[in-house]
Homo-oligomer: A and B are copies of this chain.
Amino acid sequence: MENPDLTLELTADEMRRLVAQVMEHLVAHIESLPRQPAVALEGGAEAARRFVEPLPEQGQPYSTLLPLLFEQAIPTSFNTAGPGYLAYIPGGGLFHTAVADLITDAVNRYMGLWVAAPALAQIEATVIRWFCDLVGYPASARGLLTTGGSLANFSAVVTARRDRLPENFLVGTMYVSDQTHHSIQKAALLAGFPPANVRAIPVDSQFRVQVDALEQRMIADRQAGFRPFLIVGNAGTTNTGAVDDLPALATIAQREGAWFHADAAYGGCFLFTAQGRTAMRGIELADSITLDPHKGLFLSYGTGSLLVKDGAALKRAHQVTAAYLPSVEDDPEVVDFANMSPELSREFRGLRVWLPFKMHGAPPFRRNLEEKLALTRWATAELRTISGIEIVAEPQLSIVAFRLTRPGLGPEALNRLNQELLQRINARKRVYLSSTFLNGNFVIRICILSFRTHLDRVQMCLEDIRAVVEALSPA
């Protein structure tokens, strides 16, 4: 027991050398991002198989491990960090996030209960307050940083359930549009609701929920003995960036006694822009809002947030106590995140948001977001000039959905044509686009959200679309 050579604590020199070598790889990786393919999946299964092995008995120098990661594992992927990633919802990857986690993990403090690290808990509370100010929430609001939108939406559903339904809640019904993110469906499932209790209401031509249909369904459900308790409004859908009529939904929720949750996981950060504030007018009327910093604030994956207007409701839905925990005070300055979230032990996420805002201030975030909106308008205007391209969803934020049409082709042939178009655009590897189905049709999406995506890359995107459309044209 006399301090045997346990070798898990690195010496100062070892720490410095390890980080120096990692930094060589990282700097080279980040600097080469513009030249890296937007997607590189060839040999993915083989690359993966190299990492199938039993627990190692022998250690290995990191000078061999790091190349394995940086040359084999990381490049075989959707290049979610690069400027050409215009698929799904781009995730950014600000280097500041990495630095914040380097600090957070190495000092390894616990901030889930205020008493254990008050200033670190306050950093997270301050970040939450910034977001509450952004959405226009009062001082009573509270919130959490989560790992992403899914757990934020889950805590919103749980909070709404606790606030609006009796203990026997299975008669509770919730209202979403058919464009709502499936994490709401998953949240309902996890929270115990039968899948059928989630009512998917059709959308209008702009992919916004049909407010009248939603209200009629709620009334009919109530008359049939259900308890409509939650409306989820979209503040930027994943498919097209559509923003529902938030004030109208707020009015219905108020009238029906339902909780109103706004899913702004993708769209919320555009509240930093004038266009976004106009598009999401009324978002402050929501009882809770999901907003993902790892989307519109360009952070690395692992930072979502939930904001709740009546902070006490969040706490009531999540708090349980235990004899072995420090006692919790009722001081309004004190924020015990463990008592308003599903998590007790978890990483400290506040520094990821705090550090880049403190280093740069808000203006570059705003300008970046304005640029993404402008780039999307530009791309849409360019798409219109390509013969045969139909804009299926006009951009409301930074997503445009389109497809190639051709007279005389039926729906299935058109779908196949557009699959071929997408496959060939992506095969050029300068940009990576994804698809979805709108009104039953296969459509291609461009989503511009990375802080690394600028006009030059969107120009490449349009060049590639144009070239492939031309190549696909009948002779």
A300 proximity list for chain B (CB < 8 A): 104-106, 108, 347
- Chain B nearest CB from A88 CB (Å) reads 7
| B116 lies within 8 A of A6 (CB) | no
A224 proximity list for chain B (CB < 8 A): none
A77 to B121 Cα, complex, angstroms: 10
Within A270-314, the residues touching B (CB, 8 Å) are 292, 294, 298, 300-302, 304
A80 within 8 Å of B by Cβ? Answer: yes
- Identical chains bound together, number: 2
Task: Give the number of chain A interface residues (Cβ < 8 Å).
Answer: 165
A355 proximity list for chain B (CB < 8 A): 62, 65
The stretch of A68-76, A205-213, A467-475 that contacts the partner chain: A68-76
A118 proximity list for chain B (CB < 8 A): 41, 44-45, 47-48, 76-77
| A302 lies within 8 A of B347 (CB) | yes
Within A96-136, the residues touching B (CB, 8 Å) are 96-99, 101-110, 114-123, 126, 129-130, 133-134
| A54 lies within 8 A of B130 (CB) | yes
Please pick, from B31, B54, B72, the residue contacting A119 in the complex, using a CB distance under 8 A: B72
The stretch of A183-191, A215-223, A408-416 that contacts the partner chain: A183-191
Interface string of A344-369 (1 = CB under 8 A from B): 11111001000111111111110110
Tell me which of A8, A41, A371 has the highest count of chain B C-beta atoms within 10 A of its own C-beta. Answer: A8
| A133 lies within 8 A of B345 (CB) | no
A183 to B343 Cα, complex, angstroms: 8
| A320 lies within 8 A of B6 (CB) | no
A348 proximity list for chain B (CB < 8 A): 301
Q: Knowing A22-B103, A108-B80, say if A58 contacts B116 (CB, 8 Å).
A: no
Query: In the complex, given contacts A6-B371, A10-B96, what are 16 additional A-B residue pairs having Cβ atoms less than 8 angstroms apart?
Result: A4-B367, A6-B368, A6-B451, A51-B122, A65-B355, A69-B103, A72-B119, A77-B119, A78-B110, A98-B106, A106-B300, A147-B346, A148-B344, A167-B170, A168-B170, A191-B191
A328 within 8 Å of B by Cβ? Answer: no
Interface string of A396-437 (1 = CB under 8 A from B): 000000000000000000000000000000000000001111
| A167 lies within 8 A of B183 (CB) | no
A78 proximity list for chain B (CB < 8 A): 109-110, 115-117
Q: Knowing A170-B168, A434-B324, say if A371 contacts B183 (CB, 8 Å).
A: no
| A362 lies within 8 A of B77 (CB) | no
The 8 closest A-B pairs by CB, nearest first: A192-B192, A93-B108, A302-B347, A98-B105, A77-B117, A73-B119, A44-B118, A48-B122
| A358 lies within 8 A of B60 (CB) | yes
